[in-house]
Amino acid sequence: MFTRIRLVSALGFLLILALTVGACQPAATPPPPTEPPAQEQPAPEQPAQAPTATTPPAQPEAPAAQRWQEPIVIGWTPPDITGVFKTATDFFEKSAEDANAKGFNVQVIAQSPATHVAFADQVAIIEDYVQREVDVIAISPIEVEVIKPAVVKANEKGIPVIIVNLLEPIAGLEIASYIGFDNTVAAEVTAYSVLDYFGGPGVLGTGRKVDVAKDQYLDIEFWRNLYKDLPEEEKAQIKARGVIIEGVAGGFFSTARLNGFNNVVSQFPGIEILGVPCAADWNREKGIKCAEDFLTANPTNLDFIWAASNEMGLGAMLASEAVGRLELANQGPVLGDEKVAIFTNDVTPESVDRIAEGKIVAETTHGFADWGWFGTYFAVRLACGLDVPQIYDIRPRIAYMDNARLFYPDPVLPSLDWEEVKAQCK
């Protein structure tokens, strides 16, 4: 009995154990159906539309900037860095400032050779401007023949070129505008001032005085009209002995100015030019040396020095002053003594001060302020596809003690119509 009970208990225990183990196994995965049943895709729900919502209209594209609002870059290269050309550069920049105050974006890049005989340097500067594709190039040539190949490159690239410091057309080049003066005429004007000071009619010296308005242009027309029917007795009163300091011997500018000066004085037998011109390469220090040599060779009986440019003229003034031989304009000429009167060409802020002091008797302005003022204006017009004058003559005219302050420090320049340029800029 006891044994049967134990057997039944053991069997019951094994049954319970089997059930427990089976319950612990994961359920068997049924085999996949051979073809899944097609399932119907529910239609996507449409978002609820707000009854008052509207689609915003497309925004218009911002208008493209007009040409006058875009940068306009002017590459300007004078032949050296002396005060003469610094004045021109200053007014290129003043004109750009005037344009930018009216909303333009004008930039003037100025580069120059270190000296007036560094010919290759200016050629390299022009070629650099061409490579940089500036909008307009403005050049005061170091020498005309030297720059021709570089200007041809600018022409081939379609970059407009402005020439300043001369009006004589350069053969073989496409020049958009010439701003400046005739170099021959400019020297003629100075020659007439020499005649005036040494006995002729005009506003200087001891000759017959002519009434002029303070702001009157004493230009070539004024002088030619004054001297064209000069009586022989008045012509005979014009007497003086002088010397000449020229620029680069044989160069275009120097030759033109020598020709102009001689065109006038050669008509007056009483004007005697001593020796031959001394070439000072447009340089002040070399001008001092030339003047020293002339003064040493002529301890007396030298009445005037004409220097073909301002830097050389200031050099001659300094040399004469250093040895006590400088004649002041308000002292008047005394022929044959040791004093020497200085005449020159250009007109800069520095030389105007010397004119006002009487240390330079007379000087013909070449319009450096005008070069820059109109140079930038014409360059912007060209960048805008507008016309510019082929020739713009600044009319060389005499500066002397009574009118010197018309030229500097505040030269009288016309206002520029930038609004008209804006309206027509392409």
Residue 82 pLDDT class (50, 70, 90 cuts): confident
**332 and 198 fall within a common domain:** yes
DSSP 8-state symbol, 406: G
Q: Does any domain span residue 54?
A: no
**243 and 344 fall within a common domain:** yes
**342 and 246 fall within a common domain:** yes
Residue 403 corresponds to which tokens in the numbers above? 């009118």
**359 and 373 fall within a common domain:** no
Place of tokens 């000759």: 207
**240 and 175 fall within a common domain:** no
Average pLDDT over residues 46-53: 45
- CA nearest 205: which of 400, 387, 378? 400
Residues constituting the chain: 426
pLDDT for the residue numbered 57? 60
Mean pLDDT, all residues of the chain: 88
Total Cβ atoms within 10 A of residue 373? 24
**Could you give the percent of the chain with pLDDT greater than 70?**
85
Residue 348 corresponds to which tokens in the numbers above? 């800069």
Q: Does any domain span residue 225?
A: yes
**140 and 273 fall within a common domain:** no
Q: Does any domain span residue 39?
A: no
Number of H helices, E strands in the chain: 13, 13
Query: Is 375 exposed, middle or buried, given 0-12, 13-18 or 19+ CB atoms closer than 10 A?
Result: buried
**83 and 100 fall within a common domain:** yes
**299 and 284 fall within a common domain:** yes
Q: Does any domain span residue 16?
A: no
Residue 9 pLDDT class (50, 70, 90 cuts): very low
Q: In which domain, by residue range, is 287 found?
A: 183-365
**176 and 79 fall within a common domain:** yes
Among 337, 365, 393, where does a domain finish?
365
Q: Return all residues near 62 (Cβ < 8 A) that are at least 6 apart.
A: none
Rg (CA), the chain: 43
Q: Does any domain span residue 309?
A: yes
Q: Does any domain span residue 10?
A: no
**87 and 225 fall within a common domain:** no
Average pLDDT over residues 279-285: 96
Average pLDDT over residues 172-184: 96
Among 365, 387, 408, where does a domain finish?
365
Q: Does any domain span residue 62?
A: no
pLDDT for the residue numbered 58? 59
Beta strands 362-365; 397-399: pairing state = antiparallel
More confident residue, 61 or 332: 332
- Across-strand partners of 209? 202
Amino acid, single-letter form, for residue 267: Q
CA angle, residues 74, 75, 76, in degrees to nearest 5: 110
Q: Does any domain span residue 156?
A: yes
For 232-279, what is each residue's pLDDT tens digit?
A: 999 999 999 999 999 999 999 999 999 999 999 999 999 999 999 999
Domains held by the chain: number: 2
Write down the pTM of the prediction. 0.78
For 307-333, what is each residue's pLDDT tens digit?
A: 999 999 999 999 999 999 999 999 989
End-to-end CA distance of the chain: 126
For 93-145, what is each residue's pLDDT tens digit?
A: 999 999 999 999 999 999 999 888 899 999 999 999 999 999 999 999 999 99
pLDDT for the residue numbered 84? 84
> 22-47 burial, b if ≥16 CB within 10 A, otherwise e?
eeeeeeeeeeeeeeeeeeeeeeeeee
With beta carbons less than 8 A apart as the criterion, state whether 227 and 237 touch: no
**191 and 207 fall within a common domain:** yes
Among 319, 338, 365, where does a domain finish?
365
CATH, residue 191: 3.40.50.2300
SS3 of residue 166 by DSSP:
coil
**206 and 347 fall within a common domain:** yes
